């Protein structure tokens, strides 16, 4: 009530008395002296209605997002959750064109599309308490949990919408494997904290996949890492390994939150924190003694539990990927197979093959007697089974191009290495380095740009770093080739001695090209020059080593460039001798 309205006025209003104001009321609020009672009653009635509505709506009144408390920032700035969600922006399969908004989901929301609701602490606490009654986890609400709720519900809500769509692909698989190892099904939310359901996520520490396994831990649970396969990217194998690992950690600590902490920072850090806390096996009791990232790990897990259950109340509308779990089927293949063959025979989109089979790093499924798993959209399964032999026999344009290159190399190699060959130059494969051009490569192998173009069937003189070129020039060292800079043919015999020379770096040269030129290793050049990295700049003087060769010159061919130069020099000398006496006579 307003301070100027007395209890008598309130009772008067209720019982419609004729006079309700006392002298005390008029003294407290003089402007009421000349105001009619009817008007005061009308104003009070409006105020009473508005106040009642405000009191009833206050606990659940949605408001737009405001900056969180500075203490909250200090907590979740130490966590990698924001970084993981931000990294999804550049992930290929997380781009908007791969997702569609469900029309059925949009019917559940009572807010405008762009509205961002938030709630009071009492509402968050009540909702998390309701979740706690349904789970073996001890879910609590505090300022740390509130900070992570803001990340998922406000700051990164667009990414959360995509994660909600991806749960329809991965959660059925997670629940099946977790249940098989008697791990609470709520542990499926851990994959969101770890990788945001990005199957090819890689942390700064080298952890990989949906469940972010380090190499050593992955090997302990049977995850293979090779040139062709990375099992940490395999959703099924990684989920089985994570279920086993979490069960083992729970058997050690007897507490799921401590198991989570050990999963994140390792049992060693958790054991140390327990000792410093006096031997208490409780996550919140050892919280101060855990690494910074692990202190935000369990609060983030609680926040994800909350968001996945109450996303409707936060007006987060899931967007679904191109297909769901029920739209995916699995095959086994024991023969080598490439994604190109599948894509070009039965038309499975390359992005779908890469997303469903992220464990095959090079897009090649290696042969295996036990068979390797291949996941495809269900609509392509019957086509694959019907045309399987055709798919194996098919050669993609890239495969044909590789075979043609190999055939050309073999034919050129046999031609250049044949007894009748006058050149005797060996075939090599040169990998184009950063900053190299066709001209610099031609100089390196003492050949012509036109020859490089012919040998490699190039359309123009443009090359890109990493491109492989067939070259024929020089010997293995490129520096001790059979021809010197003047074009003289010579025979070299190594004396076993090495001398140190100075080389001025030219534009486009790299340590690799210089090492090939002088026949030494890059490490030796770095050692001679005490280089910390591999970066060099044009004009820089660097030391290089070279073997001293005993050179036995062959007779110079008639008509060579050197012969012509010597003839010109002799002619000049003879003309100078003839002119000299005449000059003396003139002086006399």
**Domain ranges (residues) in the chain:** 7-60, 70-321, 327-394
pTM, entire model? 0.56
Q: Which segments within 511-568 are labelled E, that is strand?
A: 541-553
- Phi, psi (deg, nearest 5) at residue 141: -120, 130
End-to-end CA gap in the chain: 135
Beta carbons of 517 and 476 less than 8 angstroms apart: no
| CA–CA separation, 419 and 408 (whole Å) | 19
Q: How many residues does the chain have?
A: 588
Beta carbons of 187 and 178 less than 8 angstroms apart: yes
Q: HEC profile for 6-34?
A: CHHHHHHHHHCCCCCCCHHHHHHCHHHCC
194 is catalytic: yes
Name the CATH code of domain 70-321 (choices 3.30.300.180, 1.10.530.10, 3.40.30.10, 3.20.20.10).
1.10.530.10
If one counts every other C-beta atom within 10 angstroms of the C-beta of residue 187, the result is 23
105, 186, 194, 427: the catalytic one is 194
| CA–CA separation, 475 and 485 (whole Å) | 15
Render each residue's pLDDT in the chain as its tens digit; 588 residues. Answer: 344 444 444 434 443 444 444 444 444 444 444 545 555 566 667 777 777 766 565 444 443 333 333 333 334 444 466 666 655 555 555 555 555 565 555 556 667 878 888 899 999 999 999 999 999 999 999 999 999 999 999 988 988 998 998 998 899 999 999 999 999 999 999 999 999 999 988 888 889 999 999 999 999 999 988 888 999 999 999 999 999 999 999 999 999 999 999 999 999 999 999 999 999 999 999 999 999 888 888 999 999 999 999 999 999 988 887 667 778 889 988 888 889 889 989 999 998 899 899 999 888 888 888 888 999 998 899 999 999 888 888 887 776 765 566 566 556 655 555 444 434 456 678 888 888 888 888 888 888 887 888 788 787 778 888 888 888 765 444 433 333 433 444 444 444 557 778 888 888 788 878 887 887 887 788 888 888 777 788 888 888 887 655 444 444 444 444 455 555 555 655 555 455 444 444 444
Q: Which of 209, 207, 226 is nearest to 266 (CA)?
A: 207
CA dihedral 168, 264, 182, 146 (to 10 degrees): -60
């Amino acid at each position: 009530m307003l301070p100027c309205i007395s209890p008598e006025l309130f009772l008067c209003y209720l019982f419609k008395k004729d006079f309700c104001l006392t002298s005390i009321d008029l003294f407290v609020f003089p402007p009421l002296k000349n105001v009619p009672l009817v008007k005061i009653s009308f104003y009070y009635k409006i105020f009473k209605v508005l106040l009642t509505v405000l009191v009833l709506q206050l606990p659940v009144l949605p408001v737009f997002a405001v900056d969180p408390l500075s203490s909250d920032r200090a907590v979740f700035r130490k966590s990698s959750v924001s970084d993981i969600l931000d990294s999804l922006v550049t992930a290929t399969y997380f781009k908007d064109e791969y997702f569609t908004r469900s029309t059925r989901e949009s019917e559940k929301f009572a807010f405008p599309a762009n509205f961002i609701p938030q709630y009071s602490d009492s509402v968050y606490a009540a909702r998390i308490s309701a979740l706690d009654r349904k789970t073996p986890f001890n879910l609590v609400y505090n300022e740390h949990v509130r900070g992570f709720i803001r990340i998922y519900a406000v700051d990164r809500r667009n990414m959360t919408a995509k994660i909600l769509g991806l749960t329809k692909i991965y959660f059925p698989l997670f629940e099946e494997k977790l249940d098989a190892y008697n791990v609470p099904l709520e542990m499926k939310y851990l994959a969101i904290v770890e990788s945001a359901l990005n199957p090819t996520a890689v942390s700064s520490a080298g952890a990989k996949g949906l469940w972010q396994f380090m190499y050593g831990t992955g090997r302990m649970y049977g995850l293979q890492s090779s040139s062709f396969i990375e099992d940490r990217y395999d959703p099924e194998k990684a989920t089985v390994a994570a279920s086993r690992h979490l069960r083992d950690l729970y058997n050690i600590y007897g507490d799921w939150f401590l198991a989570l902490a050990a999963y994140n920072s390792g049992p060693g850090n958790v054991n140390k924190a327990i000792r410093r806390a006096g031997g208490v096996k409780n996550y919140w009791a050892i919280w101060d003694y855990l690494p910074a990232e692990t202190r935000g790990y369990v609060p983030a897990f609680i926040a994800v539990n909350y968001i996945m259950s109450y996303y409707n109340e936060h007006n987060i509308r899931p967007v679904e990927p191109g297909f769901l779990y029920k739209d995916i089927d699995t095959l086994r293949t024991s023969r080598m197979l490439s994604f190109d063959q599948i894509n070009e025979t039965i038309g499975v989109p390359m992005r779908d093959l890469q997303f469903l089979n992220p464990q095959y790093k090079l897009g090649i499924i290696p042969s295996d007697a036990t068979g390797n798993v291949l996941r495809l959209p269900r609509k392509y399964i019957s086509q694959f089974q019907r045309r399987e032999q055709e798919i194996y026999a098919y050669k993609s344009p890239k495969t044909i191009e590789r075979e043609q290159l190999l055939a050309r190399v073999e034919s050129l190699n046999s031609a250049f290495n044949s007894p009748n060959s006058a050149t005797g130059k060996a075939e090599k494969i040169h990998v184009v380095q950063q900053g190299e051009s066709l001209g610099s490569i031609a100089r390196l192998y003492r050949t012509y740009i036109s020859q490089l173009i012919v040998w490699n069937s190039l359309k123009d003189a443009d090359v890109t770093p990493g491109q492989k070129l067939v070259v024929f020039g020089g010997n293995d060292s490129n520096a001790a080739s059979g021809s010197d800079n003047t074009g003289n043919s010579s025979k070299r015999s190594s004396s076993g001695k090495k001398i140190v020379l100075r080389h001025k770096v030219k534009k486009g040269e790299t340590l690799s090209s210089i090492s090939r030129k002088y026949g030494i290793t890059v490490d030796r050049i770095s050692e001679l020059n005490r280089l910390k990295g591999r970066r060099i700049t044009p004009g820089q003087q660097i030391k290089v080593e070279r073997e001293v060769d005993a050179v036995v010159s062959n007779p110079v061919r008639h008509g060579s460039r050197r012969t012509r130069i010597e003839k010109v020099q002799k002619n000049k000398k003879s003309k100078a001798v003839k002119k000299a006496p005449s000059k003396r006579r003139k002086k006399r």
